[in-house]
Chains A and B, each alone.
Chain A
Amino acid sequence: MLNSFFVPIIASISGSGGGTMGSGLKFDLNPVDWLILAIYLVFVIGIGFALKRQSKTAADFLLSGRSIPGWITGLAFISANLGAQELIGMAASGAEYGIMTSHFYWVGAIPAMVFLGIFMMPMYYGSKAKSVPEYLKMRYDERTRVFNSVSFAFMTVFSSGISMHALADLLTTLVGWNYYGWLVVTSVIVLAYVLKGGLSSAIYNEVLQFFMIVFGIAPLAYLALKNVGGWDGLVTKLQASPLGDGSIHSWAQTASGANPMGVPWYGILFGLGFVLSFGYWTTNFAEVQRALAANSMGAARRTPIVGAIPKMLFPAIVILPGMIAYALTMDGPGSGYAIPVKLDAHGVAMLDSAGKAIMNYNQVLPSMILNYFPNGLLGLALTALMASFMSGMAANVTAFNTVWTYDLYSQMSGGKKTDKELLSMGKVATIAGIILAMGCALIAAKYNNIMAILQLVFGFVNAPLFATFLLGMFTKRSNNAGAFWGLLIGTGTAVLFHGLSWVTGNAPGVKGAWISQIFEYPKDLSQSFMVAIVAFSVTFIVNAGLSMTSGRNKTDEELAGLVYSLTPKQLSGHEAWIMRPAVLGTLVMIAVIVLNIIFW
């Protein structure tokens, strides 16, 4: 969802701004495929109805009453992020950048998730905050909370809209029927199960969706790898391709920016790893909310760490098919597969400055599925795409209705609302959120450029927030003025810097330099990493500076449980050793280091 830095902008999969087109990318579905899809829809709605007792009070509906086991919240934690855009975007990046795409997982997501579980969850869960903005209110003051709630609510609705648009567009291209029809049908299904069973229903379904996605997509990696001649065959073909050696090494080519991603090692470590990924995974409420619904402190801390285990292996099922797609395409027509090319409005292939056809990387995943999956498996894969969309959508909706109800509505009315009033507002917010998101989807279909700008902005708003959390959770000194002005100035600087920086070859406009062309970067990714680093640093400096020059607003007693040094050490001696967050987290980190070395 919000991690637009993860994913090339896919406001339009079909490449023609919201309409279908005869790109030959059509799934020929038969009744068995439809049956598989139908069974899935019955189950997701059924789970919502089975959990309807869990939505009698506002606390149950919006917060799940902190009652869910850790393995469920753990899988929901990664499923919430696993939108269709992530699947399609990661396969696309695998084709475009090769194995370096794994940095999004093995440098980005995993360390951040482990850090969240071990170091931040004691304060998030222990403070009993209902949301990320509410924690900010407890640690700082009302204005920081309002700033964060309003920007989060706005972003959530818009990014839901963008992904709804992407899905409806994808389904229209693959299956046919009608863009608006898909938009309405998919939203109504999500609405039905969220409204019926609240957050519990969203989370339980996310776990079902997680398995759907894995089982629906996994055979692709197997078949494609077999076709390309195994791992050795893939390496040989990639070495002979224009991407060359850079596509099979994750670190070896990063001494400078001369690699497929255009980013040197310090850009990857600091920009992608530390700032963007830590920012996204540790402060995004749609993620953190899953952990807050866990039934104990131990389960809450394990949530992101348990999620990290399958997340670590995801490159094998999403990035690998992308790399194979590229290898087969470059191997020539004899290989039997080629990445579809971008077509203009007249159906003619678009050419780059060197006269070569431009590949439409966003179609890598659907076209590979079409190339290898017979009917039966095809239905399973289509269901997986649908499931991935729904998990992301429901995560956004449940985060939105909570922030709206508790942080904005209840607060505006002086906190005097009864539980009943909050519950009905929660439900109204669920419906309104989905309707607003549909509106945004229609805007996305009409004005691609506005959406592209917004997606870029959303990509780095977590960076200032992460700086604020880092100072707030780990120093007692950071004060209210520092937090508020740091966030405001940091975010503003990011927008400004984006307007001054540009990527070689891009015209000024949506992709940057809309103020002036001052800072030049080789690739889109190096630009977004740099914007994030600037945003983080400015926020950090302003917050630290103001906090040093003016006094503290809260005493040690008031900050107990909110700041790391004033939070009692978590005792996990009663849990089996393997279940202790620190042990589990260390094992995950060792595994991820080994993976980085293997694919060095």
Chain B
Amino acid sequence: MDLRLPIGIIFTIYGFILIGYGFFTKGSEIYAKSLGINVNITWGIVLLVFGLVMYYFAKRAKKS
């Protein structure tokens, strides 16, 4: 098993969940805690990028 595959998938899912939830709660008062920053969107993007990179490398390794 190439471990990059499940890690890629789980963080891609987390990325989508956080970004989606972030949009859903845009402007909500829950972001008073995080200094007015919608951290769900920002951090969701980071997780999504990480997840996709892991996924890409796992797939590339499989082809060759």
Residue numbers of A with Cβ under 8 A of B are 32, 35-36, 39-40, 43, 46-47, 50-51, 72, 204, 207-208, 211, 215, 219, 223, 226-227, 371-377, 380
| Residue in A51, A215, A219 whose beta carbon sits within 8 Å of that of B1 in the complex | A51
Q: Are A371 and B33 in contact (CB under 8 A)?
A: yes
| Nearest 8 CB-CB pairings of A with B | A374-B30, A376-B40, A376-B21, A32-B21, A43-B10, A374-B33, A204-B3, A219-B43
CB-contact partner of B34 in A50, A208, A377, under 8 A: A377
| B interface, over-half SS | helix
Partner of B37, one of A39, A50, A223: A223
List chain B residues, Cβ under 8 A from A215.
Answer: 11, 14, 43, 46-47, 50
CB distance from B29 to the nearest CB of A (A): 9
Interface string of B16-42 (1 = CB under 8 A from A): 011001100100101101110101100
B-side contacts of A377, CB under 8 Å? 18, 34, 39-40, 43
| A36 contacts B39, C-beta separation under 8 Å | no
Q: How far is the CB of A234 from chain B (nearest CB, A)?
A: 15
A372 CB contact (under 8 Å) in B3, B7, B18, B33: B33
Contact B1 A223 (CB under 8 A): no
**Is A32 a contact of B33 with CB atoms below 8 Å?**
no
CB of B7 within 8 A of CB of A223, answer: no
Cβ–Cβ contact B47 & A374, under 8 A:
no
Residue of B nearest to A68 (CB): B3
Residue of A nearest to B13 (CB): A39
Q: Which residues of B contact A376 (CB under 8 A)?
A: 17-18, 21-22, 25, 39-40
Q: Nearest chain-A residue to B3 (Cβ)?
A: A204
Q: Which residues of B contact A72 (CB under 8 A)?
A: 3
Measured in the bound complex, the distance between the Cα atoms of B1 and A434 in whole Å is: 27
Are B7's CB and A32's CB within 8 A?
no
- State the Cβ distance, A566 to closest chain B Cβ, in Å: 37
Residue of A nearest to B1 (CB): A50
Which residue of chain B has its CB nearest to the CB of A71? Answer: B3
A36 to B14, CA, bound (A): 7
Q: Which of B3, B6, B39 contacts A374 (CB 8 A)?
A: B39
In the complex, how many angstroms separate the beta carbon of A91 from the nearest chain B beta carbon?
18
Chain A residue with the shortest CB-CB distance to B28: A374
By beta carbon, the residue of chain B nearest A204 is B3
B10 with A208: CB separation less than 8 A: yes
Q: How far is the CB of A78 from chain B (nearest CB, A)?
A: 16
- Least CB distance, A18 to chain B, in whole angstroms: 30
Give the residue of A207, A373, A375 whose beta carbon is less than 8 angstroms from that of B7: A207
**Given known contacts A208-B10, A380-B18, A226 and B3 CB-to-CB distance under 8 angstroms:** no
B9 to chain A, nearest CB (A): 8
